[in-house]
Copies of this chain bind each other. A is one copy, B any other.
Amino acid sequence: MSERRTVGVGLVGLGTIGTGVAKVIQQNAAVIEQRLGVPLRLVRIADLDLETDRGVDLSGIRFDSDTPGLISDPEVDIVIELVGGYDFARDLILKAIDAGKHVVTANKALLALHGKQIFDAALKRGVDVAFEASVGGGIPILRSLREGFAANRILSLHGIMNGTTNYVLTEMEKTGELFDVVLKRAQDLGYAEADPTFDVDGIDAAHKLTLLAAMAYGAAITFEEIPTEGIRALTPFDFEAADEFGYRIKLLGIAKGHGRDAERIEARVHPTLVSKGSLLANVDGAMNAVAVTGDAVGRTLSYGAGAGEMPTASAVVGDLIELAREVLRESSGRVAPLSYLPEELVPKPIVPLDELYGRAYLRFTMLDRPGVFGHIASVLGENEIGIESVIQKGRGGSFDSVPVLMQTYPSKESALRSALEIIDGLEDVTAPTVHIRVEEDL
Contact = CB atoms under 8 A, between A and B. Distances in A.
Contacts of A311: 296-298
- The count of identical subunits is 2
Given A34-B341, A144-B140, A296 B24 contact: yes
Given A28-B152, A151-B320, A321-B151, A314 B302 contact: no
A166 to B, nearest CB: 14
Interface centre among A218, A314, A344 (most CB of B within 10 A): A314
Given A147-B140, A302-B302, A314-B149, A28 B296 contact: yes
Nearest to A320: B151
Interface in A294-309: 294-305, 308
A261 interface: yes
A310 interface: yes
A347 interface: no
Interface majority SS (helix, strand, loop, mixed), chain A: mixed
B140 A35 contact: no
B296 A279 contact: no
Nearest to A321: B150
Contact of A151 (B144, B294, B313): B313
Given A151-B321, A329-B331, A298 B305 contact: yes
B331 A335 contact: no
Interface string A21-47: 000100110111011110000000000
The range of chain A's interface size is: 35 or more
A340 interface: yes
Nearest to A291: B303
A308 B12 CA distance: 46
A283 B295 CA distance: 20
Given A318-B147, A333-B1, A35 B297 contact: no
A150 B297 contact: no
30 contacts: A20-B296, A28-B295, A31-B152, A32-B150, A34-B344, A35-B336, A37-B341, A138-B294, A138-B296, A138-B298, A139-B148, A139-B300, A140-B143, A140-B144, A143-B147, A150-B317, A150-B318, A151-B316, A152-B314, A279-B279, A282-B282, A296-B310, A296-B311, A297-B311, A297-B314, A297-B315, A300-B305, A302-B303, A325-B334, A334-B334
